[in-house]
Amino acid sequence: MNYFITGTDTDVGKTFFTALLLRTLRQAGYDAVGYKPVACGSWEDVDAMLDAATDSGETRATTCVEYLDMPASPLTAAWAAERQLDPARLVAGYHALAARHDIVLVEGAGGWLVPITPTYTIADLAAELGLPVFLVARNRLGAINHTLLTLESIGARGLDVAGIVLNHVAQSADPAAHTNRATFAMLPSAPVVAEIEPHQHALDLAVFAPFFGPR
């Protein structure tokens, strides 16, 4: 089973979670790789995926089919480079990886509604791929509203949500950071499947293996 990984915003920890999940799966014997359809401003996210799956045989070129220099939305970065991105190329890159590997984790750019072209967003790409979604949120005050809004948009596109991941981006005395998970449990929303901490090196395989089936 393949999954799409998105966030409530940029810099909420999508890549950190994706790399943790890739590393956990590969150490358990799963043939899993990452895919970043478009990256802007840095190869850091792509390299993190490759580092988590060092023996996958994949490269920057196959893990990310569109790279743009400007650290901005794909639409803005492409405009600055006097280019227009082709969504079909992003979809084709996914299918190429899916043909070679059992599991592909697709990570979006920025938040859920970030534009790729004037008429096509990260959400549209996820809908075209038709994958269930892991939603990563920064675990702090405001996470509940941001998460529920994003869940509503995901559901409106007919996609299933595998679960919410709360990322403790920084240690905080914020009461919300310690109560958000319990609050989500009281709401008719997707389940919180994990809370992740800075410098964490792996995930609990017992939690995530059911999402991927037997090796």
Domain range list for the chain: 3-203
For residue 175 the two structure tokens come to 């009461």
Looking at residue 191, what is its pLDDT? 95
Res 214 pLDDT > 90: no
CB contact set of 214 (below 8 Å; sequence gap of 6+): none
Q: pLDDT over 70 for what percent of the chain? A: 98
Q: Tell me, yes or no, if the pTM score tops 0.85.
A: yes
Average pLDDT over residues 57-67: 98
- Calculate Rg over the CA atoms of the chain: 16
178 vs 129, more confident: 129
**What is the CATH architecture assignment of 3-203?**
3-Layer(aba) Sandwich (3.40)
Looking at residue 170, what is its pLDDT? 67
Looking at residue 107, what is its pLDDT? 98
168 vs 108, more confident: 108
Among candidates 173, 172, 170, 190, which has minimal Cα distance to 181?
A: 190
The pLDDT confidence band at residue 176, using thresholds 50, 70 and 90, is confident
The answer to which of 43-47, 166-170, 172-176, 210-214 has the lowest mean pLDDT is: 172-176
| Mean residue pLDDT across the chain | 95
The pLDDT confidence band at residue 199, using thresholds 50, 70 and 90, is confident
Looking at residue 173, what is its pLDDT? 67
In this structure, are residues 175 and 202 in contact, taking their beta carbons and an 8 Å threshold?
A: no
Res 180 pLDDT > 70: yes
Res 81 pLDDT > 70: yes
CA 190/CA 9 separation, integer angstroms:
18
Looking at residue 171, what is its pLDDT? 63
The pLDDT confidence band at residue 65, using thresholds 50, 70 and 90, is very high
Average pLDDT over residues 94-101: 98
- Per-residue three-class SS string for the chain: CCEEEEECCCCCCHHHHHHHHHHHHHHCCCCEEEECCEEECCCHHHHHHHHHCCCCCCCHHHHCCEEECCCCCHHHHHHHCCCCCCHHHHHHHHHHHHHHCCEEEEECCCCCCCEEECCEEHHHHHHHHCCCEEEEEECCCCHHHHHHHHHHHHHHCCCCEEEEEEECCCCCCCHHHHHHHHHHHCCCCCCEEEEECCCCCCCCHHHHHHHHCCC
Catalytic residues: 36
